[in-house]
Amino acid sequence: MSTTLENIKQQVSENPILIYMKGTPQLPQCGFSAQTVQALMACGERFAFVNVLDNPDIRAELPKYANWPTFPQLWVNGELVGGCDIVVEMYQNGELETLIKDAASKANAEQAGNA
């Protein structure tokens, strides 16, 4: 049986674009998660998500692993990008879309190479 920390590491490594949030992209359960997921969806690429409200073990362990105390948390290519304020600011200045498109094209290229 894997530990919560192993699950988090696996999720982060297997999903090039991953958001840990309260609720789901279709039904966010907090305003910060809603703003973050809206910015992410506006970039037009697929992404994975984990609802920390359904996963209390991840909700408890991830802030320690990430050294980031709050949710949402956006991870791209295994690196923590940040929370709501950082993601929204990056979206507004155009950085987020570039980061997301690069991560998606890299992931698509790797998948094509493995096919």
In the predicted structure, residue 115 carries a pLDDT above the cut 80: no
Q: Is 84 annotated as a binding residue?
A: yes
The string of pLDDT tens digits covering residues 23-82 is 999 999 999 999 999 999 999 999 999 999 999 999 999 999 999 999 999 999 999 999
Rounded to two decimals, what is the model's pTM? Answer: 0.94
In the chain, how many domains are there? Answer: 1
Q: Is 59 annotated as a binding residue?
A: yes
- Confidence band of 1 (pLDDT split at 50, 70, 90): low
Give the CATH number, domain containing residue 46: 3.40.30.10
- Positive or negative CA dihedral for 44, 48, 54, 59? negative
Q: Is 43 annotated as a binding residue?
A: no
**For residue 83, what pLDDT is reported?**
97
Q: Is 106 annotated as a binding residue?
A: no
Domain interval for residue 76: 4-104
